[in-house]
């Protein structure tokens, strides 16, 4: 449903279900709005001042009113228990299992950046310790490089790199206040809460390059008759990226809390990982130099 009523492009496997869910909710709300609107107008006419000069504190009596109220409670309970709870339970169960070759990454929000932590080649996250946190010195996560698992870890600020068509599990947390981790094209939105590590998962279905191609197609459709506007749009698309948006007002710099997500092809991702591994500090390297 990408491009539908101003929705962003759709770039994740589960996103279609979210879009359909949103459409369903809008239709349901339209029904509810119409129902209550009609009821409101009926009440205004039926209980108008000229017919009821004195307030009736007992209100309506009679079987019909009781039955209507009962029906409303029953329908709402059915929506909650029959629709929302099973939907949520299914959504929680979608976390990829160990056999699914998922890419696991930690994202640690802070005012006003996204820190991204990869476990490196050993697949195990190195230990992080609060006393090692040094933003100015370039160790925003307090990663312990002397921990054997921490040696090969990769830490990047504001850039999340993932391969296409493989499940991604983001373990999300925050260093300071509540932030909102949002990937609009992937239909992912989850609060990052200090003291909690919350797993979020999604499977990207298009690379950044395919995303740009989609945007170009859309630009050609929308500006086909205006070469100048089309050229400007196409030029802007050249360095467009998927964005990580903060969706909780988290402080004065909230507006600038914007990261980027790059979806690579499988080969490109392997090459990127190798590049990162090559840049890791060797034994005896001045670690500070590496961080900066
Ligand atoms: Cu924020």
What are the percentages of helix, strand and coil residues in the chain, rounded to 5?
Answer: 40, 20, 35
pLDDT single digits (tens) 114-138:
999 999 888 888 888 888 888 877 7
28 is written with which tokens?
């349901």
- Ligand 1 centre to CA of 174 (Å) is 9
Q: How far apart are CA 112 and CA 258, in angstroms?
A: 8
What are the boundaries of each domain within the chain?
Answer: 8-93, 102-208+239-291
The enclosing H or E element of 116 equals strand 113-118
* pLDDT band for position 174 (cuts 50, 70, 90): very high
- Ligand 1 centre to CA of 251 (Å) is 7
Among residues of the chain, what percentage have pLDDT more than 70? Answer: 94
Residue 61 or residue 292, greater confidence? 61
Residue 25 or residue 162, greater confidence? 162
- Ligand 1 centre to CA of 83 (Å) is 32
- Ligand 1 centre to CA of 176 (Å) is 10
Q: How far apart are CA 5 and CA 18, in angstroms?
A: 14
User: Which alpha helices (H) appear in 224-280, and where do they start and end?
Assistant: 227-237, 266-278
- Ligand 1 centre to CA of 65 (Å) is 48
pTM over cut 0.95: no
Lowest mean pLDDT among 29-38, 96-105, 227-236: 96-105
**Closest-CA residue to 172 (of 190, 158, 146):** 190
- Ligand 1 centre to CA of 142 (Å) is 20
Average pLDDT over residues 67-95: 86
Among residues of the chain, what percentage have pLDDT more than 90? Answer: 50
Average pLDDT over residues 192-196: 95
pLDDT single digits (tens) 13-65:
989 988 988 898 899 899 999 999 999 999 999 889 898 888 888 777 778 88
User: How far, CA to CA in Å, does 119 sit from each of 67, 71, 125, 292?
Assistant: 59, 54, 4, 20
- Ligand 1 centre to CA of 85 (Å) is 29
Average pLDDT over residues 274-289: 66
Average pLDDT over residues 251-262: 93
- Ligand 1 centre to CA of 122 (Å) is 31
Q: Looking at the domain 102-208+239-291, which fold is it? A: Immunoglobulin-like (2.60.40)
Sort strands 154-157 and 179-183 into parallel, antiparallel or unpaired: unpaired
Mean pLDDT of the chain: 87
226 is written with which tokens?
């205006």
Average pLDDT over residues 148-165: 89
**What single DSSP character describes residue 283?**
T
- Ligand 1 centre to CA of 243 (Å) is 14
DSSP string spanning 145-207?
A: TTSTTTTT-EEEESEEEEETTS-EEEEEEESSS-EEEEEGGGTEEEEE-BT--EEEEE-B-S-
- Ligand 1 centre to CA of 114 (Å) is 9
pLDDT at 289 over 60: no
- Ligand 1 centre to CA of 180 (Å) is 6
- Ligand 1 centre to CA of 192 (Å) is 9
pLDDT at 205 over 70: yes
- Ligand 1 centre to CA of 179 (Å) is 4
Question: Quick one: pLDDT at residue 74?
Answer: 96
Q: How far apart are CA 81 and CA 235, in angstroms?
A: 49
pLDDT at 152 over 90: no
* pLDDT band for position 291 (cuts 50, 70, 90): very low
- Ligand 1 centre to CA of 115 (Å) is 12
Question: Quick one: pLDDT at residue 283?
Answer: 54
**Closest-CA residue to 109 (of 251, 289, 281, 287):** 251
Sort strands 198-202 and 168-174 into parallel, antiparallel or unpaired: antiparallel
pLDDT at 284 over 60: no
* pLDDT band for position 234 (cuts 50, 70, 90): very high
């Amino acid at each position: 449903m990408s491009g539908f009523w101003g929705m962003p492009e759709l770039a994740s496997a589960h996103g279609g279900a979210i879009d359909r869910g949103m459409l369903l909710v809008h239709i349901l709300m339209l029904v509810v709005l119409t129902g209550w609107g009609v009821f409101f107008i009926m009440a205004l006419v039926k209980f108008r001042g000229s017919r009821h000069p004195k307030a009736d504190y007992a209100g309506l009596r009679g079987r019909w009113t009781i039955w209507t109220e009962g029906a409303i409670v029953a329908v709402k309970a059915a929506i909650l228990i029959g629709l929302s709870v099973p939907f949520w339970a299914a959504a929680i169960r979608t976390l990829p299992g160990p056999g699914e070759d998922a890419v696991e990454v930690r994202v640690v929000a802070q005012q006003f950046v996204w820190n991204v932590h990869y476990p490196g080649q050993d697949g195990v996250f190195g230990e992080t310790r609060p006393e090692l946190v040094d933003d100015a010195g370039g160790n925003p996560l307090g990663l312990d490089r002397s921990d054997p698992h921490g040696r090969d870890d990769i830490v990047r600020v504001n850039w999340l790199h993932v391969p296409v068509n493989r499940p991604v599990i983001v373990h999300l947390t925050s260093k300071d206040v509540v932030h909102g981790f949002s990937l609009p094209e992937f239909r992912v939105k989850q609060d990052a809460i200090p003291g909690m590590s919350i797993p979020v998962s999604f499977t990207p279905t298009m690379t950044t390059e395919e995303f740009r191609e989609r945007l170009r197609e859309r630009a050609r459709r929308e500006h086909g008759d205006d070469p100048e506007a089309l050229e400007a749009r196409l030029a802007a698309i050249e360095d467009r990226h998927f964005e990580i948006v903060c969706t909780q007002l988290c402080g004065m710099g909230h507006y600038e809390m914007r990261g980027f997500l790059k979806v690579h092809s499988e080969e490109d991702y392997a090459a990127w990982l190798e590049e990162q591994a090559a840049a890791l500090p060797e034994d005896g390297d001045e670690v500070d130099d590496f961080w900066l």
